[in-house]
Amino acid sequence: MPSPYYTPHGGLPPQSDIITDRAIFTEAYAVLPKRVLSDIVTSYLPHWEKTRLWVLARPLSGFAETFSQYIMEVQPGGGSDRPEADRDAQGVLFLTEGEMTVRIGGAEHTLTPGGYAYLPAGSDWTARNRGAATARFHWIRKAYDAVPGLERPEPLFRHDHDVPRSTMPDTDGRWATTRFVDPSDLRHDMHVNIVTLLPGASIPFPETHVMEHGLYVLEGRAVYRLNNDWVEVEAGDYMWLRAFCPQACYATGQGPFRYLLYKDVNRHAALPFRALAQPSRRGRPGDRLKPRRRRRDRIA
Protein backbone atom coordinates (compact mmCIF):
# COMPACT_ATOMS: atom_id res chain seq x y z
CA MET A 1 0.00 0.00 0.00
CA PRO A 2 1.49 3.37 -0.99
CA SER A 3 2.26 5.88 1.72
CA PRO A 4 -0.22 8.78 2.01
CA TYR A 5 2.62 11.17 2.83
CA TYR A 6 4.35 12.88 -0.08
CA THR A 7 8.12 12.43 -0.18
CA PRO A 8 10.61 13.61 -2.82
CA HIS A 9 12.50 10.97 -4.80
CA GLY A 10 14.97 13.28 -6.51
CA GLY A 11 15.88 13.17 -10.15
CA LEU A 12 16.15 16.20 -12.42
CA PRO A 13 13.48 17.98 -14.47
CA PRO A 14 13.80 17.54 -18.25
CA GLN A 15 15.61 20.17 -20.32
CA SER A 16 12.25 21.01 -21.90
CA ASP A 17 10.86 22.36 -18.58
CA ILE A 18 10.51 26.11 -18.12
CA ILE A 19 12.51 27.73 -15.32
CA THR A 20 9.68 29.78 -13.81
CA ASP A 21 8.42 28.17 -10.62
CA ARG A 22 6.77 28.97 -7.28
CA ALA A 23 10.04 29.21 -5.33
CA ILE A 24 10.03 32.33 -3.13
CA PHE A 25 12.49 33.74 -0.61
CA THR A 26 11.67 36.92 1.31
CA GLU A 27 12.63 38.48 4.64
CA ALA A 28 9.41 37.14 6.18
CA TYR A 29 9.00 33.69 4.60
CA ALA A 30 10.29 31.19 2.07
CA VAL A 31 8.55 28.63 -0.15
CA LEU A 32 10.42 25.61 -1.54
CA PRO A 33 8.17 23.87 -4.10
CA LYS A 34 8.53 20.13 -4.43
CA ARG A 35 10.12 20.47 -7.90
CA VAL A 36 13.24 22.11 -6.49
CA LEU A 37 14.07 19.07 -4.32
CA SER A 38 16.11 17.45 -7.06
CA ASP A 39 19.35 15.47 -7.15
CA ILE A 40 21.40 18.62 -7.62
CA VAL A 41 20.60 19.93 -4.10
CA THR A 42 21.15 16.77 -2.04
CA SER A 43 23.76 16.56 0.73
CA TYR A 44 25.53 13.90 2.79
CA LEU A 45 26.38 13.59 6.48
CA PRO A 46 29.37 12.12 8.33
CA HIS A 47 28.78 8.68 9.89
CA TRP A 48 25.65 8.01 7.80
CA GLU A 49 25.97 5.16 5.30
CA LYS A 50 23.93 4.76 2.10
CA THR A 51 22.19 8.04 2.94
CA ARG A 52 21.56 11.37 1.31
CA LEU A 53 19.34 14.27 2.38
CA TRP A 54 17.67 17.51 1.42
CA VAL A 55 18.21 20.43 3.81
CA LEU A 56 14.90 22.31 4.11
CA ALA A 57 15.80 24.75 6.90
CA ARG A 58 18.90 25.85 8.79
CA PRO A 59 19.86 28.80 11.00
CA LEU A 60 20.63 31.90 8.95
CA SER A 61 22.47 35.00 10.12
CA GLY A 62 20.03 37.84 10.72
CA PHE A 63 17.01 35.55 10.87
CA ALA A 64 15.13 34.12 13.85
CA GLU A 65 15.60 30.46 12.97
CA THR A 66 16.20 28.12 15.88
CA PHE A 67 16.02 24.77 14.10
CA SER A 68 17.18 22.69 11.16
CA GLN A 69 15.00 20.33 9.12
CA TYR A 70 16.10 17.60 6.74
CA ILE A 71 14.42 15.03 4.53
CA MET A 72 16.54 11.90 4.91
CA GLU A 73 16.75 9.14 2.28
CA VAL A 74 18.32 5.89 3.54
CA GLN A 75 18.89 2.88 1.31
CA PRO A 76 18.39 -0.70 2.60
CA GLY A 77 21.21 -1.56 4.98
CA GLY A 78 22.05 2.09 5.51
CA GLY A 79 21.80 4.31 8.54
CA SER A 80 24.07 5.42 11.34
CA ASP A 81 25.42 4.29 14.70
CA ARG A 82 26.55 7.90 15.35
CA PRO A 83 23.72 9.96 13.86
CA GLU A 84 23.85 13.14 15.96
CA ALA A 85 27.13 15.02 16.35
CA ASP A 86 25.78 17.69 18.73
CA ARG A 87 25.16 16.58 22.34
CA ASP A 88 22.90 19.61 22.89
CA ALA A 89 20.62 18.78 19.94
CA GLN A 90 17.26 17.12 20.43
CA GLY A 91 15.49 15.61 17.45
CA VAL A 92 12.17 14.52 16.01
CA LEU A 93 11.89 11.90 13.28
CA PHE A 94 8.71 11.52 11.19
CA LEU A 95 8.74 8.64 8.71
CA THR A 96 6.99 9.01 5.36
CA GLU A 97 8.18 5.93 3.40
CA GLY A 98 9.72 2.54 4.16
CA GLU A 99 10.81 1.69 7.68
CA MET A 100 13.59 2.63 10.08
CA THR A 101 14.67 0.92 13.29
CA VAL A 102 15.69 3.34 16.03
CA ARG A 103 17.59 2.01 19.02
CA ILE A 104 17.72 4.11 22.20
CA GLY A 105 18.08 3.24 25.88
CA GLY A 106 18.57 -0.44 25.08
CA ALA A 107 15.19 -0.71 23.28
CA GLU A 108 14.42 -0.91 19.57
CA HIS A 109 11.50 0.82 17.84
CA THR A 110 10.57 0.29 14.20
CA LEU A 111 9.07 3.33 12.52
CA THR A 112 6.65 2.85 9.62
CA PRO A 113 4.94 5.61 7.56
CA GLY A 114 3.30 7.97 10.06
CA GLY A 115 5.74 6.97 12.82
CA TYR A 116 7.02 9.72 15.13
CA ALA A 117 10.06 9.64 17.44
CA TYR A 118 11.23 12.27 19.92
CA LEU A 119 14.93 11.85 20.77
CA PRO A 120 16.19 13.90 23.74
CA ALA A 121 19.40 15.90 23.63
CA GLY A 122 22.42 13.92 24.77
CA SER A 123 20.79 10.53 24.22
CA ASP A 124 22.72 7.82 22.42
CA TRP A 125 20.53 6.56 19.59
CA THR A 126 21.08 4.76 16.33
CA ALA A 127 18.99 4.49 13.16
CA ARG A 128 19.12 1.63 10.65
CA ASN A 129 17.09 0.67 7.58
CA ARG A 130 16.60 -3.08 7.93
CA GLY A 131 13.82 -3.18 5.36
CA ALA A 132 13.91 -4.03 1.67
CA ALA A 133 12.85 -0.58 0.45
CA THR A 134 14.31 2.92 0.68
CA ALA A 135 13.31 4.75 3.86
CA ARG A 136 12.51 8.46 3.83
CA PHE A 137 11.83 10.61 6.86
CA HIS A 138 11.93 14.14 8.24
CA TRP A 139 14.57 14.91 10.86
CA ILE A 140 14.00 18.13 12.81
CA ARG A 141 16.74 19.30 15.18
CA LYS A 142 16.93 22.02 17.81
CA ALA A 143 19.33 22.87 20.65
CA TYR A 144 17.51 21.98 23.87
CA ASP A 145 16.79 24.94 26.15
CA ALA A 146 17.17 23.40 29.61
CA VAL A 147 15.41 24.98 32.61
CA PRO A 148 16.69 24.57 36.22
CA GLY A 149 14.23 22.46 38.19
CA LEU A 150 12.70 20.81 35.11
CA GLU A 151 13.75 17.30 34.17
CA ARG A 152 14.54 16.62 30.54
CA PRO A 153 11.87 14.79 28.55
CA GLU A 154 12.25 11.09 27.89
CA PRO A 155 12.22 9.44 24.43
CA LEU A 156 8.77 9.21 22.89
CA PHE A 157 7.45 7.02 20.06
CA ARG A 158 3.98 7.56 18.60
CA HIS A 159 2.07 7.05 15.34
CA ASP A 160 -0.10 9.46 13.39
CA HIS A 161 -3.00 6.97 13.23
CA ASP A 162 -2.99 6.37 17.00
CA VAL A 163 -2.97 9.97 18.24
CA PRO A 164 -6.44 11.55 18.53
CA ARG A 165 -6.88 14.78 16.61
CA SER A 166 -7.73 17.88 18.64
CA THR A 167 -10.41 19.81 16.77
CA MET A 168 -10.64 23.58 16.78
CA PRO A 169 -13.82 25.04 18.34
CA ASP A 170 -16.81 25.71 16.07
CA THR A 171 -15.25 23.99 13.04
CA ASP A 172 -17.30 20.74 13.08
CA GLY A 173 -14.01 18.83 13.07
CA ARG A 174 -12.87 20.31 9.76
CA TRP A 175 -9.77 21.90 11.30
CA ALA A 176 -7.77 19.72 13.69
CA THR A 177 -4.26 19.20 15.06
CA THR A 178 -2.43 15.96 15.82
CA ARG A 179 -0.29 16.70 18.88
CA PHE A 180 2.35 14.05 19.54
CA VAL A 181 3.44 15.76 22.79
CA ASP A 182 1.17 16.87 25.64
CA PRO A 183 1.00 20.70 25.32
CA SER A 184 1.03 21.03 29.13
CA ASP A 185 4.37 19.19 29.43
CA LEU A 186 6.69 22.15 30.00
CA ARG A 187 9.80 20.00 29.68
CA HIS A 188 9.43 20.29 25.91
CA ASP A 189 10.61 23.48 24.21
CA MET A 190 9.49 22.53 20.71
CA HIS A 191 6.48 20.80 19.18
CA VAL A 192 6.18 18.95 15.89
CA ASN A 193 2.48 18.51 15.05
CA ILE A 194 0.32 17.69 12.04
CA VAL A 195 -2.40 20.17 11.09
CA THR A 196 -5.36 18.86 9.06
CA LEU A 197 -7.93 20.95 7.17
CA LEU A 198 -10.69 19.24 5.21
CA PRO A 199 -11.68 20.59 1.78
CA GLY A 200 -13.25 24.02 2.15
CA ALA A 201 -11.96 24.54 5.69
CA SER A 202 -9.82 27.54 6.50
CA ILE A 203 -7.72 29.33 9.06
CA PRO A 204 -10.06 32.34 8.96
CA PHE A 205 -7.77 35.02 10.40
CA PRO A 206 -4.12 36.04 9.99
CA GLU A 207 -2.25 34.25 12.77
CA THR A 208 0.60 36.46 13.98
CA HIS A 209 2.76 35.18 16.82
CA VAL A 210 6.30 34.77 18.06
CA MET A 211 6.49 31.10 17.00
CA GLU A 212 8.49 30.66 13.84
CA HIS A 213 7.30 27.75 11.71
CA GLY A 214 8.52 25.10 9.35
CA LEU A 215 5.58 23.63 7.36
CA TYR A 216 5.93 20.62 5.06
CA VAL A 217 2.80 19.72 3.09
CA LEU A 218 2.20 15.98 3.52
CA GLU A 219 -1.09 15.78 1.61
CA GLY A 220 -3.50 17.91 -0.40
CA ARG A 221 -3.60 21.47 -1.69
CA ALA A 222 -4.32 24.92 -0.30
CA VAL A 223 -3.96 28.62 -0.87
CA TYR A 224 -1.75 29.93 1.94
CA ARG A 225 -1.49 33.52 3.16
CA LEU A 226 2.13 34.44 3.89
CA ASN A 227 2.72 37.99 5.07
CA ASN A 228 0.98 40.05 2.33
CA ASP A 229 0.93 37.31 -0.33
CA TRP A 230 -1.38 34.44 -1.23
CA VAL A 231 0.58 31.39 -2.43
CA GLU A 232 -0.81 28.14 -3.85
CA VAL A 233 0.84 25.10 -2.23
CA GLU A 234 0.50 21.34 -2.64
CA ALA A 235 1.85 18.08 -1.24
CA GLY A 236 5.67 18.14 -1.25
CA ASP A 237 6.01 21.90 -0.82
CA TYR A 238 7.84 23.39 2.17
CA MET A 239 7.23 26.75 3.83
CA TRP A 240 9.38 28.54 6.38
CA LEU A 241 7.76 31.41 8.29
CA ARG A 242 9.72 33.91 10.35
CA ALA A 243 8.38 34.92 13.77
CA PHE A 244 5.41 37.33 13.54
CA CYS A 245 4.81 36.57 9.84
CA PRO A 246 0.99 36.68 9.33
CA GLN A 247 -0.43 33.39 8.08
CA ALA A 248 -3.81 31.96 7.08
CA CYS A 249 -5.08 29.44 4.52
CA TYR A 250 -7.94 27.85 2.59
CA ALA A 251 -7.93 24.10 1.83
CA THR A 252 -8.72 23.86 -1.88
CA GLY A 253 -8.15 20.24 -2.94
CA GLN A 254 -10.53 17.29 -3.08
CA GLY A 255 -8.90 15.58 -0.10
CA PRO A 256 -7.51 16.64 3.28
CA PHE A 257 -4.80 19.29 3.40
CA ARG A 258 -2.22 18.14 5.97
CA TYR A 259 1.13 19.61 6.92
CA LEU A 260 3.92 18.76 9.36
CA LEU A 261 4.45 21.79 11.59
CA TYR A 262 7.45 22.82 13.71
CA LYS A 263 7.21 25.54 16.39
CA ASP A 264 9.02 26.75 19.53
CA VAL A 265 7.08 26.57 22.81
CA ASN A 266 7.25 26.92 26.60
CA ARG A 267 10.27 29.17 27.08
CA HIS A 268 10.96 32.79 28.03
CA ALA A 269 12.05 35.12 25.27
CA ALA A 270 15.83 35.48 25.56
CA LEU A 271 17.09 38.89 26.69
CA PRO A 272 20.71 38.91 25.53
CA PHE A 273 21.28 42.65 25.91
CA ARG A 274 20.45 43.01 29.62
CA ALA A 275 22.38 45.74 31.45
CA LEU A 276 23.42 44.97 35.01
CA ALA A 277 24.12 47.60 37.64
CA GLN A 278 27.81 47.38 38.48
CA PRO A 279 29.58 49.08 41.43
CA SER A 280 31.76 51.92 40.16
CA ARG A 281 35.25 52.44 41.53
CA ARG A 282 34.68 56.19 41.30
CA GLY A 283 31.17 56.46 42.69
CA ARG A 284 28.26 54.69 44.26
CA PRO A 285 26.88 51.31 43.13
CA GLY A 286 24.64 51.82 40.14
CA ASP A 287 26.30 55.02 38.93
CA ARG A 288 27.53 53.15 35.87
CA LEU A 289 25.79 50.43 33.89
CA LYS A 290 28.07 47.89 32.38
CA PRO A 291 26.38 45.81 29.68
CA ARG A 292 26.71 42.08 29.88
CA ARG A 293 28.63 40.60 26.98
CA ARG A 294 26.25 38.92 24.58
CA ARG A 295 26.38 35.13 24.63
CA ARG A 296 26.59 33.50 21.24
CA ASP A 297 23.51 31.35 20.80
CA ARG A 298 24.13 27.67 20.47
CA ILE A 299 21.96 26.57 17.60
CA ALA A 300 21.69 23.11 16.15
Q: Who wins on pLDDT, 283 or 126?
A: 126
Question: Which residues form the domain of 190?
Answer: 24-148+156-265
Q: Is the pLDDT assigned to residue 144 strictly greater than 60?
A: yes
Q: Is the pLDDT assigned to residue 215 strictly greater than 90?
A: yes
Q: Is the pLDDT assigned to residue 22 strictly greater than 80?
A: yes
Residue 128 in domain = yes
Q: Counting every residue, how long is the chain?
A: 300
pTM of the predicted structure, to 2 decimals? 0.90
Instruction: State pLDDT tens for residues 46-69.
Output: 999 999 999 999 998 667 689 999
Residue 292 in domain = no
Residue 295 in domain = no
Residue 278 in domain = no
Instruction: State pLDDT tens for residues 252-290.
Output: 999 999 999 999 999 998 887 665 555 555 555 444 444
Own/partner pairs, 177-185, CB within 8 angstroms, 24+ separation:
180/116, 180/118, 180/156, 181/118, 181/153, 181/156, 183/265, 185/153
Structural domain count, the chain: 1
What would the DSSP string read from start to end of 22-55?
S-EE-SSEEEE-GGG-SGGGEE--TT-EEEEEEE
Residue 279 in domain = no
Angle subtended at Cα 143 by Cα 148 and Cα 275, rounded to the nearest 5 degrees: 60
For the chain, the average pLDDT equals 91
Residue 4 in domain = no
pLDDT at residue 157 in the model: 98
Report percent pLDDT > 90 for the chain.
84
Residue 140 in domain = yes
Instruction: State pLDDT tens for residues 156-208.
Output: 999 999 999 999 999 999 999 999 999 999 999 999 999 999 999 999 999 99
Residue 103 in domain = yes
Q: How far apart are the first and last CA of the chain?
A: 36
What's the whole-number mean pLDDT along residues 231-247? 96
pLDDT at residue 292 in the model: 47
Q: Residue 241's domain is classified under what CATH number?
A: 2.60.120.10
